[in-house]
Chains A and B, each alone.
Chain A
Amino acid sequence: MSDYGREVTDAYESTHSSDFVHVDSAAESLAPQLAGASAFGGQGGEDLDTVKRKLGFGFWLAIGWIVTVVLAAILAPWLPIKDPDANLIQPGERPPYAPSSEFWFGSDLDARDMFSRTIWGARISLTIGFSAIAFGMLVGGSLGMVAGYFRSKWDTAISFFFVVLLSFPALVLAILITALLDRTLFTISFVIGVLSIAPVGRVSRATTISFADREFVLAAKSLGARHPRIIIRELLPNVVIPMAALALLGVAVAIVAEGGLAFLGLSVEKGATWGKLILFGSGSRDLEKAPWISMAPIMVLFFTVLALNFAGDRLRDYFDVKEASL
C-alpha cells in the first residue's frame, strides 16, 4: 500500500524535522551565503516568506476538486445520474459501452454506468476516509494533547502506547481484524482509524508541547483556569489548525488503504468502493475489452488523493507543522 510510502517519508522527515518544501527552503535560505561558494552555484531561490505565506492557486484548485467530489458523493441519490446497479442494455449494441455522451465514463460488462458507479463508490470510499481519520483525530488527538499538556507519567504512558501501536505491523492488524470480523463500513473505518491513532497522536502531542509553555497559557493558569478549560479554550484552537493539515493527508492515506484492502479481498462486503471498482475492472479480459472500467475510478481516486496530499502539504507548510521531534 502506498500509504506506507507516506509513513516512511513522514518518519524520515520527523527525524530530520524538515519536509518536502522545507528542504527546498533550507537550501534556499543557505543559498545567499553560499551563492558564490557553492560548488554547483545556481541556487537562486524565492524569498522564504513569500513562499510560505501564500496558499496559491494550486491549493484552491485542489480544495475545489475535493469539495466537488464530496458534494457529488453526498448528493448522489438526488443527482440526475443513472442508477448505478441498473443494466442499461442499449438496443442493437452489446456491452461494454465505450465512454460517450450517453455513458460519460463508459459502462462495465453488465452495461452499468461507470460515471454513476464512480460517484456512488465515492460515498463509501470517502465515508471510510473521513470517519477513519475523524476517529484517529478524536482518540489520537486528545491522547496527544493530554500527554503534551500534563507531561510526566501521562506522557510516558501515552507515548509508550503510541510506540506499541506504531511497532505493530499495520498490514497484519488490518488483515487480522478484517478477516475475522464482518466487513462492514464500520469495521473497515475502525481498523484504519486505529492505525491512524499513533501518527496523529504524536503530532498532536508535539504541537501541544510547543504551545503549553506560551504566555497565554501561563496567563490563563495564573487567572485560576482549570486544566480542562486551558486544554479546550487555550490549547485546542492552536492544535486544531495544524491537525487539519494532517487530517487531509490522513484521509488520502485512508482512502488508499481501503483500496489496498479491497485488492486483498478485505474491503466492505456490500456496495462498491473505488478500490472494489478498480479491482473489478482489473481482470485481463476487462482491461482488454474495456479499460475505462478500471481507469475511470483510478483517475478519480488519483486526483482525489493528489488533491488531498497537495492541499495537506500546502497547509502544513503554511502553518509550519513540526513533527514529533520534541
Chain B
Amino acid sequence: MSYWTKKLAAALLLLLTVSMLTFGAMNVLGDPLFNILGPIAGDVENPASVEKIEAAKAEYNLDDPLPVRWALWLGAFVTGDFGVQFSEDGQPPVSDLIAERLPRTLQLLVMAQVIAAFLAIPWALWSASHANSKIDRGSTVMSFLLIALPSFALAVMLKWAFSIQTSIFPLAFVANDPFWTRTYQLLLPAITLALPAAAIYQRLLRTDLITTLQEDFILTARSKGVSRRAILFKHALRPSLFSFVTIFAINTGALLGGALIVEQIFLIPGLGRAIVEAILREDFPVVLAIVMLIASAFVILNLVVDIIYSLIDPRVRSS
C-alpha cells in the first residue's frame, strides 16, 4: 500500500469509528422513540398513541437491530441526508440547520486565522530581530500570558471592555444584516480567538527565525551588504515559515473548539449554539450530524497537515 492509501484508509476508519460510537451511544443511552414523539412514547394504553408509536418505529426503522440502523443511517448520511430535527415543529431536515449555522462558524474561523497570521508574522519578525533583548523578553511574557488565558475568559473580558464599557463593537449578531455588517459583528469574537492563536504562532515562528538567522546564507547576505530589513523579509522569513504553516493547519481544529465556546458568549447563532441547544433538547440527529462534522473537519485537517509535511520533507512519505 502506498503512503497515501494508508493515510486515507486510516482517516476513513477513524470516521467510521466515531460514527459508530456516536450512533451507538445515542441509541443505547438515549431513547430515540421518546425524542421523536415526546411523552406519548410511553403511552401504550391509548390506541391513538400506539398507532403513532408504530408509525414512528416503522419510519425510523427502530425495530431493526442497531448495526442495521447504523448502516441505514450511514448510507443516508453520506448522501447528504442528515435526518430530521426531532425537537423542531414540523421536523425540518437537519441539513437546513447546518446550512444556516455552518457558514457563520466558518466565517468566524477564517477571520480568526487571518487576524492571527497578520498579528503573528510581524510580531515574530520583530521579536526575532531583537532576540533576547529586554523588549523581546517582554513579548515572550506577553505571549505566555495570552496562551494561559482561556478563550472564554478572554471573550468575557473583551466583551466587557469593547461592547459594554465602550460600544466600539456591537453586542448582537443580527442574521438579516448585510454581509459586511455581520462581518463587523463577528470581528470581536474573531479577535478573541486570534489573540491566543497569534501568541502560539509567534512563539514558534520566532524560534525558527532565530535558527534561520544563524545560517551561513544569512551571513553571506549580510556580508554582501543586504539590509537588515531585506534579510528578514526576503531571506529569513520564507525558510522559517514551514512549521508555522503546519501549526496553523493543526490549530484550526483547536480553534473550532474555541469557536463553539466563544459563540456562546457573543450570542452568535453558529454551530456551537446549535449543538448546545440540541443537547439540551436531546435532539440526537442534530448532535450526531454536528459531531460527525467536527470529526470530519479534524480528519481532513490532519490529512492536510500530512500533505504539507510530505511537501516540505519527502522523506515522510517513504518512511
Give the interface of A toward B (CB within 8 A). 1-2, 4-9, 11-12, 16, 18, 20, 23-24, 27-28, 30, 34, 37-40, 42-45, 167-172, 175-177, 179-181, 252, 256, 259-260, 262-266, 275, 278-279, 281-282, 284, 287-288, 291, 294-295, 298, 301-302, 305-306, 309-310
- Are A305 and B247 closer than 8 Å at their CB atoms? no
- Are A8 and B200 closer than 8 Å at their CB atoms? yes
- Are A282 and B256 closer than 8 Å at their CB atoms? no
How many angstroms from the CA of A92 to the CA of B260 in the assembled complex?
42
- State which residues 242-282 of B face A: CB under 8 Å: 243, 247, 250-251, 253-258, 260-261, 264-265, 272, 275-276, 279-280
7 contacts between A and B (CB under 8 A): A5-B199, A9-B147, A169-B294, A172-B18, A288-B164, A294-B156, A305-B149
- Are A264 and B29 closer than 8 Å at their CB atoms? no
B24 CB, nearest partner CB in chain A, Å: 10
Contact pick for A301, options B14, B25, B150, B243, CB 8 Å: B150
Q: Which residues of B contact A180 (CB under 8 A)?
A: 25-26, 29-30
B31 CB, nearest partner CB in chain A, Å: 11
Using A8-B250, A259-B150 as known contacts, say yes or no to A282 and B228 having CB atoms under 8 A apart. no
- Are B228 and A172 closer than 8 Å at their CB atoms? no
Task: Mark the stretch among B54-62, B100-108, B212-220 that contacts chain A.
Answer: B212-220
Using A172-B291, A260-B150 as known contacts, say yes or no to A9 and B131 having CB atoms under 8 A apart. no
Closest chain B residue to A28, Cβ basis: B132
Known: A287-B159, A291-B160. 6 other contacts (CB 8 A): A42-B131, A171-B260, A179-B287, A260-B151, A264-B260, A305-B150
A278 CB, nearest partner CB in chain B, Å: 6
Using A2-B151, A39-B213, A167-B14 as known contacts, say yes or no to A263 and B261 having CB atoms under 8 A apart. yes
How many angstroms from the CA of A34 to the CA of B131 in the assembled complex?
14
Q: Which residues of A contact B219 (CB under 8 A)?
A: 37, 39
Using A180-B26, A259-B150, A260-B257 as known contacts, say yes or no to A282 and B156 having CB atoms under 8 A apart. yes
Interface centre among A20, A27, A305 (most CB of B within 10 A): A27
How many angstroms from the CA of A177 to the CA of B130 in the assembled complex?
47
Closest chain B residue to A262, Cβ basis: B152
- Are A4 and B228 closer than 8 Å at their CB atoms? no
How many angstroms from the CA of A169 to the CA of B308 in the assembled complex?
20
Closest chain B residue to A169, Cβ basis: B298
Q: Which residues of B contact A44 (CB under 8 A)?
A: 132
- Are B153 and A171 closer than 8 Å at their CB atoms? no
Interface residue B231 (Cβ < 8 Å from any Cβ of A): yes
Interface residue B32 (Cβ < 8 Å from any Cβ of A): no
Give the interface of B toward A (CB within 8 A). 10, 14, 17-18, 21-22, 25-26, 29-30, 129-133, 144-145, 147-153, 155-157, 159-160, 163-164, 171, 196-197, 199-200, 203-204, 207, 210-211, 213-214, 218-219, 221-222, 228, 231, 243, 247, 250-251, 253-258, 260-261, 264-265, 272, 275-276, 279-280, 287, 291, 294-295, 298, 302
Closest chain A residue to B222, Cβ basis: A39
- Are B152 and A275 closer than 8 Å at their CB atoms? yes
- Are B150 and A168 closer than 8 Å at their CB atoms? no
Contact pick for A2, options B157, B213, B258, CB 8 Å: B258
How many angstroms from the CA of A4 to the CA of B10 in the assembled complex?
22
B234 CB, nearest partner CB in chain A, Å: 13
How many angstroms from the CA of A312 to the CA of B153 in the assembled complex?
21
How many angstroms from the CA of A288 to the CA of B291 in the assembled complex?
35
How many angstroms from the CA of A263 to the CA of B218 in the assembled complex?
48
Closest chain A residue to B155, Cβ basis: A282
- Are A309 and B222 closer than 8 Å at their CB atoms? no
How many angstroms from the CA of A28 to the CA of B250 in the assembled complex?
29
Q: Which residues of A contact B157 (CB under 8 A)?
A: 295, 298
Using A28-B132, A180-B29, A275-B152 as known contacts, say yes or no to A11 and B147 having CB atoms under 8 A apart. no
- Are A2 and B147 closer than 8 Å at their CB atoms? yes
Closest chain B residue to A177, Cβ basis: B25
Contact pick for B276, options A4, A45, A181, A264, CB 8 Å: A264
Q: Which residues of B contact A260 (CB under 8 A)?
A: 150-152, 257, 261
How many angstroms from the CA of A39 to the CA of B138 in the assembled complex?
22
- Are B164 and A306 closer than 8 Å at their CB atoms? no
Q: Lowest 5 CB-CB distances: which A-B pairs, in order? A: A4-B254, A169-B298, A180-B29, A171-B257, A39-B222
Q: Which residues of B contact A28 (CB under 8 A)?
A: 132
Q: Which residues of B contact A301 (CB under 8 A)?
A: 150, 153
- Are B213 and A38 closer than 8 Å at their CB atoms? yes
Q: Which residues of B contact A310 (CB under 8 A)?
A: 144
Contact pick for A27, options B132, B203, B291, B294, CB 8 Å: B132
- Are A27 and B131 closer than 8 Å at their CB atoms? yes
How many angstroms from the CA of A176 to the CA of B288 in the assembled complex?
9
How many angstroms from the CA of A306 to the CA of B141 in the assembled complex?
11
Contact pick for A171, options B145, B156, B294, B302, CB 8 Å: B294
- Are A1 and B151 closer than 8 Å at their CB atoms? yes
Q: Which residues of A contact B213 (CB under 8 A)?
A: 38-40
How many angstroms from the CA of A18 to the CA of B207 in the assembled complex?
10
Q: Which residues of B contact A281 (CB under 8 A)?
A: 156
Q: Which residues of B contact A282 (CB under 8 A)?
A: 152, 155-156, 159, 265
How many angstroms from the CA of A28 to the CA of B251 in the assembled complex?
29
Using A28-B132, A175-B279, A259-B150 as known contacts, say yes or no to A5 and B156 having CB atoms under 8 A apart. no
Contact pick for B149, options A12, A179, A302, CB 8 Å: A302
- Are B150 and A256 closer than 8 Å at their CB atoms? yes
Using A5-B254, A175-B279 as known contacts, say yes or no to A45 and B132 having CB atoms under 8 A apart. yes
B283 CB, nearest partner CB in chain A, Å: 11
Interface centre among B10, B197, B207, B231 (most CB of A within 10 A): B207
Closest chain A residue to B212, Cβ basis: A39
Closest chain B residue to A265, Cβ basis: B276
Using A4-B253, A12-B247, A278-B153 as known contacts, say yes or no to A169 and B295 having CB atoms under 8 A apart. yes
